[in-house]
Amino acid sequence: MSEQRKNYMTPGCAERLRGELKQLLYQERPQMVETVAWAASNGDRSENADYHYGKKRLREIDRRIHFITGQLDSAIIVDPLEQAKSAGDRVLFGATVTVESANGEQRSLSLVGGDEMDATRGRISWFSPVGKALLGGREGDEVTVQTPVDVKSWKSSGWNISPLIYLNNNESD
């Protein structure tokens, strides 16, 4: 992550990452350590697939633990409901904005942190080109964004703040 970009996240995202970290630290890693110890006790490690896979998986788990810990340590947790109190009529982090294209197609986009992006659910990062264009805007504003394919224009037809609820690591309301 660049040093200039803040690591904003919603409380739901922080909770989801803490849950994943707990799972890795207290379940997956101890189980894999046990598997590696068992495989090592079988003798010759040079052709021991369980041992080699186990060591590889431990490195993957440790990398993920390191990444999540870094993300949580640098996180600035912003509650969208609290943010709404000071937002006035501006679009801020955590807002869900309804935009309308020139042909009348409407789409809802939620401005979220980098760890909670999911374009299929309309969750875009606040630092993406579209997120930056919407951030600070007001209802009725027109935004234009250069995409890799072409230039897109939308008109903000409304926005609201609602908590983003995470059911598990991959699903959300």
Question: For the residues 5-31, what does the mean pLDDT come to?
Answer: 94
- Reported pTM: 0.79
Write down the mean pLDDT value for the chain: 85
| CB 12 within 8 Å of CB 164 | yes
Query: How far is Cα of residue 19 from the mean position of the Cα atoms in its chain?
Result: 14
Give the bridge partners for 172, in sequence order.
166
What pLDDT, on a 0 to 100 scale, did the predictor assign at position 161? 56
Nearest Cα to Cα of residue 156 among 104, 96, 97, 110: 97
Pairing of strands 151-161, 95-101: antiparallel
Residues in contact with 107: Cβ distance below 8 Å, sequence separation at least 6, in sequence order: 98, 99, 100, 101, 122, 154
Residues in contact with 157: Cβ distance below 8 Å, sequence separation at least 6, in sequence order: 98, 99, 100, 106, 139, 140
80-161 has which fold? Chitinase A; domain 3 (3.10.50)
pLDDT digits 0-9 by tens, 137-159: 888 888 888 877 888 787 777 66
More confident residue, 117 or 1: 117
Task: Give the span between the Cα atoms of 69 and 57, in whole angstroms.
Answer: 18
pLDDT digits 0-9 by tens, 27-52: 999 999 999 999 999 888 888 899 99
Which single residue is written with the structure tokens 């490690």?
A: 45
Q: Where are the domains of the chain?
A: 7-77, 80-161
Query: How far is Cα of residue 108 from the mean position of the Cα atoms in its chain?
Result: 17
What pLDDT, on a 0 to 100 scale, did the predictor assign at position 81? 81
Domain 7-77 has CATH 3.30.56.10: no
Nearest Cα to Cα of residue 124 among 100, 147, 97, 90: 97
pLDDT digits 0-9 by tens, 102-133: 788 888 888 999 999 998 998 999 998 888 98
What pLDDT, on a 0 to 100 scale, did the predictor assign at position 158? 64
Which H helix or E strand runs over 50? helix 49-74
